[in-house]
Amino acid sequence: MVVSDLVPIRTALLSVSNKQGLVELARQLAASGVRLISTGGTFRHLDEHGIPVTELSDFTGFPEMLDGRLKTLHPKVFGGLLAKRDDHDHMRAIAFHQIDPIDLVVVNLYPFRETIARAGTTRDEAIEQIDIGGPSLIRAAAKNQAHVCVVTHPDQYATITEALNQDGGTRLPLRQRLACEAFQHTASYDRAIAEYLSAGECDDKEFPLTLTQTFHRKALLRYGENPHQQAALYAEDGPATANLVSARQLSGKELSYNNLLDLDSALSIVRDFGVPAATVIKHNNPCGAATAERLYRALQKALDGDPLSAFGGVLGLNRTVDEATAEVLCQPGLFIEAIVAPDFEAAAVGLLTTKPKWRDNVRLMQTGPLDQPTAGKHRRFIAGGLLVQDADNLPSIPLEWQTVTLTQLDSAIWDDVFFAWEMVRHVRSNAILLAKDTAVVGVGAGQMSRVDSVEIAIAKAGDRARGSVLASDAFFPFADSIAAAAKAGVLAIVQPGGSRRDNEVIEACDRHGIPMIFTGRRHFRH
């Protein structure tokens, strides 16, 4: 027996928890003469919409039982899925047992991830959402991809209706692609279950023995960090949060690899602040950042941090971009690659997308309301493996800080001390940051020597260094940078402390009349 590349759809089995788009697909199938078979909830949904459908228990002659745990696991179902149409013995066997071939399976699985994401979900409730029949149907249909088509997501329905309208059935390349996606789907589902169980009783809750995660390609990028490197963007499975991958692009050309890295850094900075905040990112470091009582004011202060570097940078804002904020961006000579914010007023979008040179270029990324950072894990791939650590997003606790110099801190600059310390954690090590009026005025980033970072930050700040606060992401090992800070007019220094030479550094601060605060927490960012 020879089977054509084209397989007509005569019988379809539908069993879904997500009913999105199901009625439209079923109507199309029924109108094309396809026999529909369905399980309990799906059967009732289609029946209520007047779509002719056979209940699975009538098809198999065996009732659903065990509270729905047992329904699709039956030889009439799996015989119809697994029989190879070009194998005489297979076809004789299913004919002898009166088993009809099933040509299309439409299945999506119990909402396990959604269930465990809900607060208060018990272990028993989670286990009840472990689908058994669904993955079995998917795997059987995907294994027999030469003859059976499997659909696992509503986004794929249009492909099926298009194939039905055009060819009256499915062709092998489509079945092969959908089978591949089906196995990815079940693998991701099983990984979610394994991770949930391993985080409970089976393994180390913080760092399980086996770590797996599924990512789905969202977009192919024009290129990577450089034009000769190909690149793509993948979305991570998991509960929905406000992030760059799930953000809605309101305008502009497609994002580049570097845009995405910079926008992600911008978003991580501004979501740290409860007051209106803005930041300017260039090459994955903040060249400007500020807070203020109004967003437009914070933005202007952030742009003033390093106007030269701000040109061609990306912006992060933690409030809805209003017209006043958009007007700040319309100042002559300024160009921004992309902006990420919770939302944009219509008037602001109008201003930004009609500004000369911005019309077709500026990318506006809308994330929705920003959730506050929560404890989580930071992952970084290295050759042959993966490094995992707690994310460095624990809130600062000023009550635990200590002024270690005889010179005491003037309370009038306390806000700058706190702002500088919050910002320096976002700068590449060795990191030195100068802040004044809750705005960044100078940054020294990514230097092999902390002395070099101090000198760069002071040079960037220029005259604005006078009256600023200096933050260091790690301890000062030597006192020479204290003299440079004092000469520049720095009013206070905040750092983790913990060096064997702390006493020398403290004495240098007292000689220059500079108060020094130890926070007890380091913020290296390699």
Tokens at 320, concatenated: 């809805």
Q: Which of 347, 366, 385 represents a domain boundary (last residue)?
A: 366
Q: How many CB atoms lie within 10 A of CB 510?
A: 16
Instruction: Let me know: does 280 contact 302? Beta carbons within 8 Å.
Output: yes
pTM of the model: 0.73
The 3-state secondary structure of 131-179 reads CCHHHHHHHHHHHCCCCCEEECCHHHHHHHHHHHHHHCEEEHHHHHHHH
Q: Quick: pLDDT tens for 323-349.
A: 999 999 888 888 888 999 999 999 999
Bridge partner residues of 382 (DSSP) = 385
What backbone torsions phi and psi does residue 395 show, to the nearest 5 degrees? -65, 145
pLDDT at 521: 85
Decide if 238 is inside a domain: no
Q: Residue 168 is part of a domain; what is its CATH number?
A: 3.40.50.1380
Query: Is there a domain that residue 18 lies in?
Result: yes
Q: Look at residue 385 and tell me if it is in a domain.
A: no
> Which residue in the list 153, 253, 283, 512 is annotated as catalytic?
283
159 located within any domain: yes
Which position among 143, 153, 355, 512 bears the catalytic label? 143
- What is the domain-level CATH number for residue 304? 3.40.140.20
pLDDT, position 478:
76
| Residue-level pLDDT at 102 | 85
Q: Which residues contact 379 (CB under 8 A, 6 or more apart)?
A: 386, 387, 388
Q: Is position 143 annotated as part of the catalytic site?
A: yes
Question: What pLDDT does 2 receive?
Answer: 44
Orientation angle between helical segments 40-48 and 22-31, nearest 10 degrees: 70
| Same-domain pairing of 504 and 456 | yes
Domain that holds residue 326: 250-366
If one counts the domains in the chain, the total is 3
Q: Quick one: 159 and 41 in the same domain?
A: yes
d(CA 465, CA 486): 10
pLDDT per residue as tens, the chain (526 positions) = 444 588 778 888 888 878 888 888 888 888 888 888 888 778 788 878 887 877 776 777 666 666 666 666 777 777 878 788 877 888 787 777 877 888 888 888 777 777 777 777 787 777 777 777 788 888 888 888 888 888 888 888 888 888 888 888 888 888 888 888 888 888 888 777 877 777 655 556 677 777 777 788 888 998 999 999 999 998 887 666 788 888 999 988 888 899 999 999 999 999 989 899 999 998 888 999 999 999 999 999 999 988 888 888 899 999 999 999 999 988 888 888 899 999 999 999 988 888 766 666 788 999 999 877 666 788 888 888 888 888 888 888 888 899 999 999 999 999 999 999 999 999 888 889 999 999 999 998 888 888 888 999 999 999 999 999 999 988 877 788 899 999 999 999 999 988 888 888 899 999 999 999 999 888 888 7
Same-domain pairing of 174 and 68: yes
Same domain, 24 and 158: yes
Return all residues near 66 (Cβ < 8 A) that are at least 6 apart. none
Residue 216 lies in a domain: no
State residue 280's pLDDT score. Answer: 95
- Which positions ≥6 away from 119 have C-beta within 8 Å? none
Same domain for 293 and 343, yes or no, is: yes
Is 474 contained in some domain? Answer: yes
pLDDT at 518: 95
Are both 40 and 181 inside the same structural domain? yes
Query: 513 and 409, same structural domain?
Result: yes
